[in-house]
Amino acid sequence: MDYFRSKQIINYPKQRAFIDAPERYTVIEATTKAGKTTGCLVWLFEQALAGKDGDNFWWVAPVSSQALMVFKRLLRYIRDPNQYTANRSEHSVTLPNGATIYFRSADNADLLYGEDVSAVVIDEASRMSEDAWFAIRSTITKTRGRVKIIGNVKGTNNWAYQLARKAEEGKSKDWRYFKITADDAVEAGILDQEEIEDARKTLPSGVFLELYYGIPNQNSSNKFCFAFDETKHVGKCAVNINLPVYLSFDFNRNPICCSVIQYYSETIFVTHCIKLENSNIYNLCRVIRTKFPNATFIVTGDATGRAGSALTRDNMNYYQVIMQELNIGLNQMRVPNVNPSLEENQV
């Protein structure tokens, strides 16, 4: 059977990466319409091409209408109708080598038990019951079959999200995690930036972040930094005095604070978070000068610091005081005119 991958896949490195991942279990959290379904359909088809007579391969979706949609897509992708036999009543495609791809529904998990399956794609996993996952896992026991679990993020209180976090940790043998955001899809030419911006304007922010950036809706998760992992992201680091030091100020009445940040080697280092109880901007600057006497500073932070304050001398605003007290110029100021939204900060 003649077979070749499309140019779209060849030219989409992030899609190729999850298709070709050698691990037995692959979890892909991806923005809507970013190519996760196409990529995994290609993967399942290639697995079936390498199979033999009697081997079973499954595409499992939450409901039958979703499975049928992908079944029809595969029939469109195979251009030569002589290269397969389609059973439209049971939604299956049998290849010349005798291997069969079935498109199944997970709405009744009990009906998924019993078969021996060589490879499975679990589609829209975050919208599927955990019982379905248990049943699917049982079908690959004898074959030691491979599984790709794909879908959008939908809150944090579901089995797919929890499995994704374990795979992302990289500690489980033979598991691999991938994430594709709207920005990745735009870069690959799969989505248009204009369409993303339109979705941002028309959808509720929580829904938009889940569908296009894989960030759980705040209504379903109280984690601000949704990917924060203390085991990976907490450790010892110190200021490298040879590189610029970013100071990010927050002018809460109490405590007033400043985060000290550097970026190099493709890594963000937050070396200090200086908080002063019952204090003021002058004392905070004095602490910064003492801790980092020879540093080159770049200043950013809360946009409200641009306004005049009764807590400063001569009605200067906070950033004017910072420039004066730290002896820095305008070219070292990176203060926004308005604070970014909560959603932008999360992204």
How many Cα atoms are found within 13 Å in the side-chain-facing hemisphere of 24?
10
Mind listing the pLDDT tens digit for each residue in 111-148?
A: 999 999 999 999 999 999 999 999 999 999 999 999 99
- Rounded to 10 degrees, the C-alpha dihedral 231/215/60/116 comes to 0
Closest by alpha carbon to 56, among 47, 43, 65?
A: 47
pLDDT tens sequence across 155-180: 888 999 999 999 999 888 899 999 99
Which pair of tokens denotes residue 326?
């730290």
Amino acid occupying residue 331: N
φ, ψ for residue 332 (rounded to 5)? -100, 5
Angle at which helices 318-326 and 281-291 pack, to 10 degrees? 30
Give the Å distances, CA to CA, from 226 to 165, 230, 343, 347: 10, 12, 12, 10
The answer, yes or no, to whether residue 218 has pLDDT greater than 60, is no
Residue 298: strand pairing partners: 246
Quote the CA–CA distance of 118 and 57 in Å, as a whole number: 6
Residue 226, SS3 per DSSP: coil
Output phi, psi for 199, to 5 deg. Answer: -65, -40
Q: Does residue 310 surpass a pLDDT of 60?
A: no
Q: Read off the tokens for 169.
A: 């940790």
Q: Where do we find the tokens 């909560």?
A: 342
Tens-digit pLDDT profile for residues 71-100: 999 999 888 888 899 999 999 999 999 999
Beta bridge partners of 307: none
Task: Name the pTM for this structure.
Answer: 0.66
Place of tokens 């993967």: 43
Q: pLDDT tens digits for 1-32?
A: 667 777 777 788 999 999 999 999 999 999 98
Cα separation of 3 and 315, whole Å? Answer: 73
